[in-house]
Amino acid sequence: MKRALLPLVLLLGACVQTTGGEVVSFTAKASGDPAVVTGAPLTFTTPSGFDVTLTRARLAVGAVYLNQQNPQNYSLETSCIQEGIYSGEVRGSVLIDALSPTAVDFPVAGNGTTAPTRAAELWLTGGDVFADTDSTVVLDVAGTATGAMGSFPFEGQFTISSNRVIPPRNPALPGSNPLCRQRIVSPIAFDTALTQGAMVTLLVDPRAWFAAVDFSGLTKVSDVPLLYRFTDDQSSSAQPDKALFNALRSAVGPYRFELTP
What tens digit of pLDDT does each residue of 108-166 get? Answer: 999 999 999 999 999 999 888 989 999 999 999 999 999 999 999 999 999 999 999 88
Separation CA 11–CA 83 (nearest Å): 7
Closest listed residue to residue 37, CA positions, set 58, 16, 21, 17: 58
In this structure, what DSSP letter does residue 78 have?
Answer: S
- Cα separation values, 164 from 23, 82, 203, Å: 37, 22, 26
pTM above 0.75, yes or no: yes
What tens digit of pLDDT does each residue of 173-224 get? Answer: 656 678 898 999 999 999 999 999 999 999 999 999 999 999 999 999 999 9
